[in-house]
């Protein structure tokens, strides 16, 4: 067998694997899109490509009787944006500290972050609930923001540190010779060069709250305070008539802000992923 034939076989196997992976990803997405435009409420009567598409499920979300979808949407956006901003601030400082400073407990701190990122947040539900109750933050969005931002710190700090380690320290020394302090170096030199990894952290911290159901269902109680996962769950529960097609329409709209954020930060995001995994 010649080298060209071997290369052709490897290429064919690669494309076949990519096709299978793409099909596994696209099939549920296409089914959700089709269900959101199908008439009726049951998934049993829907198809991937509806014969009589309708926008009634989308209008029902925003203008239906007793609909709170717009409120849930705003709640999720508010929590996600606040979590993203707070996470960017915290992770920037922690990543810079671990990258540029040598202090007692540094290695143990990195090891602790490594262990913490292996533990899912919902494993501490009882502690989270008790702490929120003690602080009077039950049924509060502030509690969710603090929980989500805290949970984002370990993994994203590792990414941030890895990226900052790749930035030459000669830049810091040159700026320090010109009279710049640590904070000025951090703001004016390091952060502009760290835009790619900041984009990665921003997308990670923004999308995390949008998909969480367990923690938000423990903290939030009243319907007006629901986030999208809790509100959409009620659309398929007995309380609100088990409207699966309306649920599909609501789930589809969640992807809009995520897609827009990814398009805006696409170049920085790809660059940050490829360079943020280095260790120093």
> SS3 for 139?
coil
Statement to judge: residues 15 and 147 lie in one domain: no
Cα 14 to chain centroid distance, Å, stands at 29
Domain that holds residue 8: 3-54
Report if residue 154 sits inside a domain.
Answer: yes
Give 164-191 pLDDT, tens digit per residue: 888 888 888 888 888 888 888 888 888 8
Maximum alpha-carbon separation in the chain = 72
Q: What is the mean pLDDT of residues 266-274?
A: 62
**What pLDDT, on a 0 to 100 scale, did the predictor assign at position 89?**
94
**Residues 126, 40 share a domain:** no
Residue 48 in this model has a pLDDT that exceeds 80: no
- H-only helix segments in the chain: 3-37, 56-63, 69-100, 106-116, 125-134, 141-165, 170-177, 182-185, 191-193, 195-210, 214-219, 228-235, 244-264, 266-275
pLDDT band at 277 (very low <50, low <70, confident <90, very high): very low
Is 150 contained in some domain? yes
Looking at the structure, do residues 198 and 267 belong to the same domain, yes or no? yes
Statement to judge: residues 149 and 258 lie in one domain: yes
pLDDT at 81 exceeding the cut of 90? yes
Would 211 be classed as within a structural domain? Answer: yes
Instruction: Say if residue 97 is in the same domain as residue 228.
Output: yes
Is 59 among the domain residues?
A: no
Supply the CATH number for residue 147's domain. Answer: 1.10.3720.10
Helix, strand or coil for residue 120? Answer: coil
The tens digit of pLDDT for each residue in 205-253 reads 999 898 888 899 899 988 889 999 998 887 777 544 557 778 888 888 8
Examine the domain organization and report whether 22 and 148 are in the same domain.
no
Give CA–CA dist 43/24, Å, rounded. 19
Position 92 in a domain:
yes
Whether residues 20 and 90 share a domain: the answer is no
Higher local confidence (pLDDT), 48 or 211: 211
Q: What's the whole-number average pLDDT of the chain?
A: 83
Same domain, 69 and 48: no
**141-170 per-residue burial string, b: 16 or more CB within 10 A, e: under 16:** bebbbbbbbbbbbbbbbbbbbbbbbebeee
8 and 103 assigned to the same domain: no
Q: Do 16 and 142 have their domain in common? A: no
State the pLDDT confidence band at 44, using cuts at 50, 70 and 90.
Answer: low
Question: Which pLDDT does position 278 carry in this prediction?
Answer: 44
**What crossing angle do the helices spanning 266-275 and 244-264 adopt, rounded to 10°?**
80
Please tell me the total count of domains within the chain. 2
Tell whether 168 is covered by a domain.
Answer: yes
* Model confidence at 88: pLDDT above 80: yes
* Position 260 confidence tier, pLDDT thresholds 50, 70, 90: confident
pLDDT band at residue 85 using 50, 70 and 90 as cut-offs: very high
Q: Is residue 280 part of a domain?
A: no
> What pTM was computed for the model?
0.81
For residue 206, the model assigns a pLDDT of 92
Judgement on whether residues 107 and 194 belong to the same structural domain of the protein: yes
Q: Is position 229 within any domain? A: yes
Q: Ranked by mean pLDDT, which of 33-42, 103-112, 197-206 comes out on top?
A: 197-206
Residue with token string 């994203």 = 156
DSSP letters spanning 152-170: HHHHHHHHHHHHHHTS-TH
Residues 145 and 185 in one domain: yes
Q: What is the pLDDT of residues 56-65, one digit of tens each?
A: 878 878 876 5
């Amino acid at each position: 067998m010649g080298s060209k034939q071997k290369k052709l076989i490897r290429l064919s196997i690669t494309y076949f694997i990519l096709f299978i992976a793409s099909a596994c990803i696209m099939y549920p997405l296409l089914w959700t899109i089709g269900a959101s435009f199908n008439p009726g409420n049951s998934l049993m009567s829907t198809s991937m490509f509806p014969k009589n598409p309708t926008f009634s499920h989308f209008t029902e979300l925003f203008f239906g009787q007793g609909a709170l979808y717009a409120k849930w949407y705003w709640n999720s956006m508010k929590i996600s944006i606040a979590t993203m901003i707070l996470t960017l601030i915290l992770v920037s400082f922690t990543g810079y500290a671990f990258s540029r400073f040598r202090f007692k407990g540094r290695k143990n701190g990195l090891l602790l972050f490594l262990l913490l990122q292996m533990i899912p947040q919902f494993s501490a539900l009882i502690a989270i609930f008790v702490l929120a109750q003690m602080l009077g933050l039950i049924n509060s969005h502030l509690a969710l923001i603090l929980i989500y931002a805290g949970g984002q710190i370990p993994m994203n700090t590792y990414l941030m540190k890895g990226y900052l380690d790749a930035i030459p320290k000669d830049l810091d020394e040159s700026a320090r010779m010109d009279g710049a302090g640590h904070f000025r170096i951090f703001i004016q030199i390091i952060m502009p060069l760290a835009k790619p990894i900041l984009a990665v952290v921003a997308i990670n911290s923004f999308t995390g709250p949008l998909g969480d159901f367990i923690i938000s269902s423990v903290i939030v109680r009243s319907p007006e305070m629901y986030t999208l996962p809790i509100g959409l769950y009620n659309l398929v529960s007995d309380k609100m008539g088990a409207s699966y097609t309306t649920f599909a329409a609501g789930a589809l709209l969640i992807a809009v802000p995520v897609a827009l954020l990814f398009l805006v930060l696409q170049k920085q995001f790809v660059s940050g992923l490829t360079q943020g995994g280095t260790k120093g």
